[in-house]
Structure 1
């Protein structure tokens, strides 16, 4: 399957019309139609529903569109990296980062590197640990900054000298907001909004010495933004790390840490045997200097 054909397919899916897509691609309509039919034959399934004036994707076409975009994105990234390697130090560094105190390291590392190498550019991706690991696995990002616990067996990584406290985020007018700390036993009868990651949920259950069936979990979330909207409407108390809130505090909300104290560390992870461009290599060294840690390969 040729990359050119994937680009043809994506153009038609985007335009919803073969004639318009042919104009964008600067090829004839019969040539484009023939290429699409050959693509469908090679895959053994129809990708389009063809109407008189428009064309839309089948369920298989929607799935293929997602994969085609990923393939084209990876190829373009590889082409950039090869081109950049033959030029003066520069290029794109792609980083995925959780919402936590570790987020504060990224601007510092980027500023230091950009001062030395102004041609370096960045792609920044914010998500929870599961989504970031998916992006690492697919090769869409170079590095992932993750909050522990995290499965690192298939990655190389180094630990950051950053600890984040766990606690409860709630409305500042809540009676519990006057406390200096929250006893984890206080959570048993509260409506809770918890992280969606299974490994994190299990750790919270371990802290509480209970199973999820004994807790009133009203929602699971991947990022804090929508969770705060729920808490503002008194729908629940958010169990989270303090850094996720501290990096973007909001009026009317208050974070209260757990007692006894519960903390999590952070790691910078990347795929084993990954070959980086010059900018990415410099970036990981910059992070290492800021972290003051040696690489940990998990071996």
Structure 2
């Protein structure tokens, strides 16, 4: 197993079809199929199920994809570090952020950075805080925007902003539009909430506020996808509690955003990186802009 085979495997997984992966890799389909077969024979496991129109990863294939992402990310970082000794500030800077808050902070800084360092390109990945930390841990990205708190023994960070969590309800024609609502009143509807994930404490923070208000709500759905929660609100299936910037992602005439009165439900946002990691020059200069 070598780096080339891992790149081939990742392309097949990401494209969903060997033919599309072959076009992406600028090679013929039969040699690519042969490489996948050789990789499976070498490892002694089936990596991809081929009995459907689109390919599907096996459990072993999923594990290899995660490892390949880490390995190729480390190879790319190492390559960039070595090239910097001779080429100066150039190459690709990999960053990550959640939707919403990332859209507020990243574009103007990328534009400013590009004006100063035009030879640096960007790879910008999006995902929730759990995914951004996962990408940092595997060194696929160097810096990312996350919602605090995170493990202070693993990450360094620079705080950016503290924003409130808000309630989002369905807006009905002719209905009054109050600017705020209390948790007990909000909990009369089924709640739609962010999902609890390992190492991410926002979920616990919301539940702490509900307990403090002596509220035991009916939770209709939990998800790590804010847009999914807002879509359910728009269909009248409940009320969502989400960060304000996330609520703005799905802002429409059918949704009503309100402050949550009587509690201090806030989310701190920071740009973070792995503690002790040697950052590329581009990453260090980018962080300096924050």
Instruction: Give the TM-score taking structure 1 as reference length.
Output: 0.76
In the other structure, the counterpart of 1:145 is 145
The answer as to whether partners of 2:74 and 2:140 remain within 8 angstroms in 1 is: yes
Q: Structure 2 CA distance, aligned partners of 1:284 and 1:214?
A: 42
In the other structure, the counterpart of 2:218 is 216
Q: Structure 1 CA distance, aligned partners of 2:106 and 2:86?
A: 26
Please report how far the alpha carbon of residue 259 of structure 1 lies from its aligned counterpart in structure 2 after TM superposition.
0.9
Q: Structure 2 CA distance, aligned partners of 1:16 and 1:269?
A: 32
The answer as to whether partners of 1:167 and 1:182 remain within 8 angstroms in 2 is: no
In the other structure, the counterpart of 1:184 is 183
Q: Which has the higher contact order (CA 8 A, sep 6+)?
A: 1
Between Structure 1 and Structure 2, whose CA radius of gyration is higher?
1
Q: Deviations over 1:212-231 (max 9, x none)?
A: 99321111122322222111
Say yes or no: does 1:242 pair with 2:241.
no
In the other structure, the counterpart of 1:157 is 157
* Stretch deviating more after TM superposition (190-199 or 69-78): 69-78
In the other structure, the counterpart of 1:201 is 203
CA RMSD of aligned residues (A): 4.1
Structure 2 CA distance for partners of 1:186 and 1:64, relative to 1, 3 Å: same
Q: Structure 2 CA distance, aligned partners of 1:100 and 1:25?
A: 33
Q: Structure 2 CA distance, aligned partners of 1:15 and 1:125?
A: 17
Q: Deviations over 1:217-274 (max 9, x none)?
A: 1111223222221111101111011111235632221210111243222121111121
In the other structure, the counterpart of 1:128 is 128
Of 264, 283, 288, the match for 1:285? 288
In the other structure, the counterpart of 1:263 is 266
The answer as to whether partners of 1:99 and 1:223 remain within 8 angstroms in 2 is: no
- How many residues in Structure 1 have an aligned counterpart in Structure 2? 283
Q: Structure 2 CA distance, aligned partners of 1:235 and 1:41?
A: 49
Please report how far the alpha carbon of residue 117 of structure 1 lies from its aligned counterpart in structure 2 after TM superposition.
1.3
Q: Structure 2 CA distance, aligned partners of 1:253 and 1:11?
A: 39
Unmatched runs of 5 consecutive residues or more in structure 2: none
Please report how far the alpha carbon of residue 211 of structure 1 lies from its aligned counterpart in structure 2 after TM superposition.
11
In the other structure, the counterpart of 2:165 is 166
The answer as to whether partners of 2:80 and 2:91 remain within 8 angstroms in 1 is: yes
